[in-house]
Amino acid sequence: MQRNATTRYPILLVHGLFGFERIGHFELFHDVKSVLKAAGCRLFVPHLSTTHDNEIRGEQLLSQIACVLRGTGAKKVNLIGHSQGALAARYAAALAPDVVASVTSVSGPNHGSELADFLRKALIPGKLPEAVAQNVATQFADLLSLLSGSVTLPSNALAALNALTTVGVGQFNDKFPQGLPQTWGGHGAEQVNGVRYYSWSGVVAQSRLSALDPIQATCRVLSQYFTTEPQQNDGFVGRFSSHLGQVIRSDYPMDHLASLRRSAGTNATSPDPIELYFEHARRLRAADL
């Protein structure tokens, strides 16, 4: 029996840093798209710069929202942003709330990333390490764009890193505070200017360690660089840093990238990360979004 989660408005899945739609037969949102399309949702994956700051990527998203509205005849869209994609979605909703029905942050660094802080401090401004790091990251981003066959968009790895630090996101939040909690670890306003805000994320320390999943192992190593939330992060983003609007849950036992895919080490007692998207589509449907 087919499960119905058809939303009133189309859903845009917004990728984060180094994200893409497809390389060869591999799709970043493959499992998510399969489940939501089977449930009757209209889905789109916008092309954004693989590396750039939040506002540049937000402007690109606004342009593609306009294309989706023209192509579908819809009045609004639902934005689900993974990682940095959540910040682009927030920017679009802040500037054009009339065309955004909802913003959902999945593992989004809504108060910045301590990992980005660590990397930023490790680079010496204006010296060789910074130049080398930017060159390598930019070439990698350009390679991803080439392999994915997407339209070439500007990339700036250093701008992306600066935009993901706690200082960089703090400056972003000063301009675009919609949906942010007033207290650390709390919930934010669930609706601002007619836009509904939601979020969910995970904690890698609570996930079941699997030798079959090298990505999870990497996230566990990276989690050691967090000082504010040392045991409460997904390897890239702190638990409370991810909070936005209605916090569905921020301690799912999964790492930063597991919120996009089914891990090789997933067991019967762990939540299915892809099922969370189906449940959320039903949530949006119930809210007439």
The residues annotated as belonging to the active site are 83, 234, 256
Which residue, 283, 282, 277, is CA-closest to 82? 277
Handedness of CA 25, 26, 28, 30 (dihedral sign): positive
Q: Within a 13 Å sphere around the CA of 160, how many CA atoms are in the beta-carbon half?
A: 23
- Do the beta carbons of residue 187 and residue 244 sit within 8 Å? no
**130 sits in which H/E element:** helix 128-148
Tokens of 116: 């980005």
Give me the residues paired with residue 79 across strands: 12, 103
SS3 101: strand
Q: Within a 13 Å sphere around the CA of 179, how many CA atoms are in the beta-carbon half?
A: 32
Distance CA 275, CA 278 (A): 5
Distance CA 11, CA 20 (A): 17
SS3 118: helix
Which residue, 47, 127, 43, 31, is CA-closest to 88? 47
The residue to which tokens 């930023």 are assigned: 120
Give me the residues paired with residue 43 across strands: 11
Give me the residues paired with residue 246 across strands: 198
